[in-house]
Structure 1
């Protein structure tokens, strides 16, 4: 039996290992609301963290357009006064994740 630290975050331990700090400008929307430019500050194959924006609700899925990628869907997992944490509906393929990290941080 393997040992997993209990942190109550709901994220698998692997998500923490593959997390990359980066900065990308992306567009997000919920439902039929207008698209908004936001700063994506943290990315993993399982999800991401973006800067907070007004009128976000955890009940609706979030759509995100990351430059050079297809439209992606995500669920809001948490929010604070400064950020929103989301989980992709379908995790990113590791090659896509690596490409985005290299694109955002060419020296990575």
Structure 2
């Protein structure tokens, strides 16, 4: 079944999700970027953690809650529209522009989002079961195709874990043998999706 993941990859992914419940805290990371304010001023920032809809940054400037800006992060194509949620002691929390987020909902035909074919390893967890490293075949902001270690039932809830991002809740939409498609409860923000594809392509 799962042949592409090496023992080291399995151990790494399993360790990442051993403590994952229905939802886990954001994973710590460090990415260099720039924040461009509406005034045109540019501030060099460091992204300390990243989730599917926002991030925490280190900033040398005091940013007021509600302030809108454009965020540029190395590895993500284009700038992200964001707003400051909170700011204190040189740190700030940003939320990516919710107006640009894909809407959640049932999978449509034709597919609402274009899928990117990949050959990568991610982590998967079913309720009450241990974490497994599984093979990823394609990915869209709304869901993905994977190879299961344990075959779930259609409609079952599970959690998908990408390296350096929090686990995301998903629903099994179809099963064919040990292959299946899952739909994310919260579609992935487009800019974060681009970053994920870049990382998975290089892995």
TM bucket normalised to smaller: 0.7 to 0.9
**CA 1:11–1:96 in 2, change beyond 3 Å: closer, same or farther?**
farther
The question of 1:32 aligning with 2:128 is answered yes
TM-score by length of 2: 0.44
CA shift in 2, pair 1:12/1:70, >3 Å? farther
86-95 vs 62-71, greater mean Cα deviation: 62-71
Any residues of structure 2 matched to 1:70-89 within 5 Å, and which?
70-89=166-185
CA contact (8 A) 1:31 1:60 kept: no
Which segments of 5 or more consecutive residues in structure 1 lack a partner in the other structure?
1-8
Q: TM-score, normalised by structure 1?
A: 0.78
1:52 touches 1:79 (CA, 8 Å); kept in 2? no
Distance 1:69 1:49 in 2: 18
Quote the offset at 1:59 in angstroms: 4.1
Number of aligned positions between the proteins:
96
Residue number in structure 1 paired with 2:112: 14
On the 8 A contact 2:153/2:175 being kept in 1, the answer is no
* Structure 2 unmatched ranges of 5 or more: 1-106
Give the aligned CA root-mean-square deviation in angstroms: 1.8
1:14 is paired with a residue whose SS is coil
Secondary structure in 2 aligned to 1:105?
helix
Q: Which has the higher strand share?
A: 2
Offset of 1:103 from its aligned partner? 1.4
Higher-Rg structure is 2
